[in-house]
Amino acid sequence: MEYQADLANQVLIFAILAFSLNLLLGYAGQVTIGHAAFAGVGGYAAAKLATAAGLGFAPALVAAVLTAAVVGLIVSVPALRLSLEHLILLTLAVSVVFVTLASSTSALGGAYGILNIPNPDLAGKRFDYPSEYFLLFLPLTILAFLIYWRFVESPFGRVLKAIREDELATRALGKNVFVYKMEAFAVASGLAGLAGAMLAFYTMLVAPAQFNVTQSMLIITMVIFGGMGNPTGPVLGAALLVLATPVLEKNLNIAAEKAGLVRMVVYGAALVLVVQLRPQGLIPERFSLMVVPRWLNRWKRPQTAAQSQAIGAAGNSEPSAALSFLDGYHGSSSSAQPGGRGNNDGTVLAVRGLKKRFGGIEAVAGVDFVLPAGRVTGLVGPNGAGKTTVFSLLTGVIPPDEGSVELRGKDVAGKTPDAIAKMGMVRSFQDVRIFARLTALENVMLATFGHPGETFLGLFTKPVAVRAAEREAKERALKWLSFVGLEGKADLLAGSLAFAEQKLVAIARLLATEADVLLLDEPITGIDPQWATRIGEVIHTLRQLGKTVCIVEHNLRALEQVADHCYFMESGRITAEGSLRDLMSEPRLVSAYFGT
């Protein structure tokens, strides 16, 4: 019995390590090979406090969690803007620094570590045997798991996944990506610290070798094998790794010393195979092993587009879906920006003297234009005229050198993308940038501002408000998906949709921000003519919603159908305006457009 309990305890400890790493790696997409080091921070903290300061089990554990969380937070700061390779390098450096520090500091026991950690002593009961430890560890693990679960299968977790898919697009939706990354690191490290402390008390020692890079790699394999991004997968991965040894020993009669090595060989080989055949791990992201209470699990298992075709989804709704939608629409409801439909002169956006220089080239050389409320304005011009740069300047992706951008009278020039998004101006991207491994519905739900479930505090202190906000967000998302005619495909993974449908999801996502000013970058380019008509109709209807739209387009024929008014841009300046037909009747402009 003790033997089984010992195995169970190992599974529990590794499970915590695995699912905490999953939060960072599987959900937020931050590849780190230093996770064991955070466990080490917790383990050493607990060990030191228990031996030197005589701290009891419970306080030592708490101290471990907090210390590890703080260290994780500190490490996250430089990690915020690093590319994948540099992040791996950073976490490697952190790991080596930790191990070296631990093995070289006499106060930390040097290479041998800290020994003779006292047994846990709670309420007079001393914990000695594995079975007794199990009674202690099981509730701890379940608690840790519930905290982790609350983070990942929630609006907060949804944002983490979005960051994993496309950081830039996430920022464009008004999320402060840096804060999320820092919080992910802090929580993941804190939980790892818990596991480290548990290990310390269990084995009664901590040593540097328990927390080095090789151990970190081991935890990574557990997560990958079990299923990245799946909430319960890592637990399976941990269990498989720990239990493989006894299985090999007992069932295959492999000698004890060899069994551990054989399982690693099998594990390593399986890893190479798994990543080739099932890159998402044994358990796909969406599948749930556990019986999950309904109120926690909101999303059914989404199908691929092919499966839903077999069922006969009503995805091919007619364009009039958009128009019939309007009957039920009552304008911006819970939007984040102040009311008002524009300035007195009916313009919503006024740009003056906008300039941007890149090195020696003046990409935007003093641009003035206005966007009238409730109208679709086109921005046309030859290649390299600076049109997309203007969009980037307006939405804060690039700061302008000079000029003002007045959104309903307030100058937003130089503000961050998240701030401008919250003030009511958003843009779409030429290369769409939807979150491929999230459903269409989740993509659109991410466009909510001020969702309490997306914050650390709100998630744990305001469960009722979170549930209400989720319901509202879901309703709003479905509304906008049906506006673009895709409500039948709401539960499909966005990456499995056709390219044109992805463009529609992106538009629905923009609309769900309830922003007034929509900047669309080549919405009709690169798709089939019948889809182009459908998108054109959607854009046409935006007028009736009171949206102010500006479009950069090269597909002139399609643009003519939707634009009320156009600006002509060449070599960084706006040189003419009028209807598209008028502009294209000007010989000088035509030659500028098609080249002199």
Partner 1 sequence: MSGKRSLAVEDIRAGYGKKQVVFGVSLSLEPGQIVAILGHNGAGKTTTLKTIAGLLPAQSGVIRLDGVDITRNSCAQRVRHGIVYLPQERSVFAQLSVHDNLLLGGTPNPDRAERQKRLDYVLELFPILGERRSQMAGTLSGGEQRMVAFGIALMASARVLLLDEYSLGLAPSLCQALAGTIKLLVERDGMSVLLVEQNVPLALSLAERVSVMRMGRIVVEETTQQLGEREHLWELF
Partner 2 sequence: MDLKFDLLPQLFVNGVINGSAYAALGLSFALILRVAGRFHVAWAMIYTLAAYVAVVAAQDFGLPLVPAIILGLAAAALAGILTEWIVYRPLDARGGGLLGIFIASLGLIIVTENLIRLTWASQTLYRPLPGFPTELISLQDVTFTTLDLASVLTAWFLLVAVALFLKYAPHGRWINAVRVNPEMAQVVGISPDKVHLLVFVLGSVIAGVFAIYAAMKFAAVPDMGWQPLFLAFMVAFLSPRFTPLSLALTGIFVGLVESLSGIALTANWSPLVVFSVLLAYLIVLPIRLPRLAKLVRAWAG
Residues near partner 1, by CB under 8 A: 382-384, 495, 498-499, 502, 522, 525-529, 532, 554-557, 584, 590-591, 593-596
Which of 52, 53, 58, 84 is close enough to bind partner 2 by CB under 8 A? 84
Query: Which of 261, 333, 385 minimizes the C-alpha distance to 516?
Result: 333
User: 158 with 53: CB under 8 angstroms?
Assistant: no
Pick the piece of the chain touching partner 2 (CB under 8 A) from 80-88, 167-175, 285-293, 365-373.
Answer: 80-88
Q: What are phi and psi of 207, to 5 degrees?
A: -135, 150
Closer to partner 2 by CB, 228 or 507: give it.
228
SS3 372: strand
User: What 3-state DSSP class applies to 486?
Assistant: coil
Of 91, 104, 94, 106, the residue nearest 52 (C-alpha)? 106
Nearer to partner 2, 52 or 77 (CB): 77
Measured between alpha carbons, how far is 351 from 362 in angstroms, rounded to an integer?
17
If the CB atoms of residues 389 and 482 are measured against partner 2, the closer one turns out to be 389
25-54: contacts with partner 2 (CB under 8 A): 31
Asked if 402 and 355 count as a contact pair (C-beta separation under 8 A), the reply is yes
Partner whose footprint covers residue 527, from partner 1, partner 2, none (CB < 5 to 8 Å by kind): partner 1
Q: Could you say which of partner 2, partner 1, none residue 56 binds, taking C-beta under 5 to 8 angstroms by partner kind? A: none
- From the list 104, 304, 307, 324, which residue makes contact with partner 2 (rule: CB under 8 A)? 104
Bridge partners, residue 493, by sequence: 439
Contacting residue, 142, 143, 275, 590, with partner 2 by CB under 8 A: 275
Q: Which two tokens stand for residue 180?
A: 């999320």
**Nearest to partner 2 of 135, 275 (CB atom):** 275
Minimum distance, C-beta of residue 182 to partner 2, in the bound complex (Å): 14
374 vs 386, beta carbon nearer partner 1: 386
Q: For residues 211 and 568, which CB has a smaller minimum distance to partner 1 in the complex? A: 568
Is 106 one of the binding residues for partner 2 (CB under 8 A)? no
Three-class secondary structure assignment of 374-436: CCEEEEECCCCCCHHHHHHHHCCCCCCCEEEEEECCEECCCCCHHHHHHHCEEECCCCCCCCC
The nearer residue to partner 1, 544 or 585, going by C-beta atoms, is: 585
Rg, Å, the chain Cα set: 28
Minimum distance between the CB of residue 586 and partner 1, rounded to whole angstroms?
A: 11
Residues 172-231 that bind partner 2 (CB under 8 A): 213-214, 217, 220-221, 224
Q: Are strands 548-552 and 376-380 parallel, antiparallel or unpaired?
A: parallel
Residue 532: which of partner 1, partner 2, none does it interact with, CB under 5 to 8 A by kind? partner 1
Of the pair 93, 122, the CB lying nearest partner 2 is at 93
H helices of 107-176, in order, are: 130-152, 155-165, 167-172
- In the list partner 1, partner 2, none, the entry touching 594 (Cβ below 5 to 8 angstroms by class) is partner 1
Distance CA 186, CA 490 (A): 33
Q: Is 257 in the site for partner 2 (CB under 8 A)?
A: yes
* Binding partner of residue 555 among partner 2, partner 1, none, CB cut-off 5 to 8 Å per kind: partner 1
CB within 8 Å of 186: residues ≥ 6 apart: 69, 70, 72, 73, 76
Strand order in the sheet with 565-570: 425-427, 517-521, 548-552, 376-380, 565-570, 573-578
Interface pattern 401-440 for partner 2 (x via CB under 8 A): ----------------------------------------
Residue 168, contacted partner among partner 2, partner 1, none, CB below 5-8 A by kind? none
| Token pair for 553 | 């387009």
In Å, what is the CA distance from 200 to each residue of 204, 241, 545? 5, 20, 61
Q: Which is nearer to partner 1, 51 or 389 (CB)?
A: 389
**Residue 215 or 555: which CB sits closer to partner 2?**
215
Which of partner 2, partner 1, none binds 498 (CB below 5-8 Å, type-dependent)? Answer: partner 1
Residue 257 interacts with, from partner 2, partner 1, none (CB under 5-8 Å by kind): partner 2
Q: Does 86 bind partner 2 (CB under 8 A)?
A: yes
Residue 135 binds to partner 2 (criterion: CB under 8 A): no
* Binding status of residue 397 toward partner 2 by CB under 8 A: no
> Any contact of residue 457 with partner 2 (CB under 8 A)?
no
CA dist 208 → 68, 196, 445 (Å): 16, 12, 45
Out of partner 2, partner 1, none, what residue 62 binds, judged by CB under 5 to 8 A for its kind, is none
Long-range contacts of 237-245 (CB under 8 A, 24+ apart): 237/18, 237/281, 237/282, 238/11, 238/14, 238/15, 238/17, 238/18, 239/11, 239/15, 241/14, 241/267, 242/7, 242/10, 242/11, 242/14, 243/7, 243/11
Look at residue 596 and give the partner it binds from partner 2, partner 1, none, a contact being a CB closer than 5 to 8 Å depending on partner kind. Answer: partner 1
Please tell me what DSSP assigns to residue 367: E
CA 261 to chain centre: 37
Dist. CA 351–CA 411, nearest whole Å: 9
The listed partner (partner 1, partner 2, none) that binds 529, CB under 5 to 8 Å by sort, is partner 1
Q: Count interface residues toward partner 2 (CB under 8 A).
A: 41
- Contact in structure between 532 and 524 (CB atoms under 8 Å): yes
Tell me: does residue 66 bind partner 2 (CB under 8 A).
no
Under the criterion CB under 8 A, does residue 361 sit at the interface with partner 2?
A: no
Dihedral pair phi/psi, residue 374, rounded to 5°: 65, 25
74 lines the binding site for partner 2 (CB under 8 A)? no
**Contacts to partner 2 by CB under 8 A:** 31, 78, 80-82, 84-86, 88-90, 92-94, 96-97, 100-101, 103-104, 213-214, 217, 220-221, 224, 257-258, 261-262, 264-265, 267-272, 275-276, 279
